[in-house]
Amino acid sequence: MTQEEMLTHVDHTLLVQTATWDDIKQILDDAMKYKVASACIPASYVKEAAEYVKGKLAICTVIGFPNGYATTASKVFMAKDAVNNGAKEVDMVINIGWLKDKKYDELESEIKAVKEAVGNLVLKVIIETCLLTDEEKIKMCEIVTKAGADYIKTSTGFSTAGATFDDVKLFSKHVGKNVKIKAAGGIASLDDAYKFLELGADRLGTSRIVKLVKGQEATGY
């Protein structure tokens, strides 16, 4: 896989609380230059960002982020609002407490409701793997598949750890054929990016990969 091909799998991400519009514009400019899959940014910037890129880049945002314990109704509202503002992809966080309580029907219903709000656009479901047992991760592969989401995603990047190779391997074994995998959180090197894709990830949520590529260009490597 070439570097250019790898970049087409990147969701170039900026979700820190201090992000300004100037910071977001830099993310958007770099995302368009390097032809990544999307720019993943806070919901408050989606409308402005969509107008700025003029259809040249998919805008992604997050809902129920980063803790996942907002009500289903509020997640549905946030998803609809994001789509109305121009988002083409939505990454939602599950209610982790529900998973611990084995409220599997509620989890599936919530994902279905958000997917209905998103419609034909892309829905990724963040399950925050660092807080789960392997059994819980496998159960979420089943629930995400049954609920009709487009992706299962490892992490928010705001908890105790991010994506691991083992989690992507586990997802690859247990997720349905129609569900893709997004690895996110802590992807810090180009070698790691390639490895995650080799193991079965289709998307990489990262703030660092484009910066590393820019650094290569600056140094002539």
To the nearest whole number, what is the mean pLDDT of the chain?
97
Per-residue pLDDT, 217: 77
CB proximity list for 57: less than 8 A, separation 6 or greater: 28, 31, 32, 36, 38, 39
Beta strands in 14-104 (DSSP E): 38-41, 58-63, 89-93
Catalytic residue among 75, 88, 91, 115: 91
User: Is residue 190 scored above 60 in pLDDT?
Assistant: yes
Catalytic residue among 75, 88, 115, 182: 182
For domain 3-214, give the CATH number.
3.20.20.70
pLDDT in tens, 6-60: 999 999 999 999 999 999 999 999 999 999 999 999 999 999 999 999 999 999 9
d(CA 216, CA 135): 41
Is 182 annotated in the active site?
yes
Query: Helix, strand, or coil here: 19?
Result: coil
Per-residue pLDDT, 220: 63
* CA dist list (Å): 168 to 78, 98, 126, 199: 28, 23, 13, 7
What percent of the chain clears pLDDT 90, i.e. is strictly above it?
Answer: 97
Catalytic residue among 115, 124, 139, 153: 153
The full set of domain ranges for the chain reads 3-214
pTM of the model: 0.96
Q: 43 is written with which tokens?
A: 């919901």
Is 103 annotated in the active site?
no
Helix residue spans in the chain (DSSP H): 3-7, 21-33, 46-53, 72-84, 96-100, 104-118, 134-147, 165-174, 190-199, 209-219
Per-residue pLDDT, 221: 56
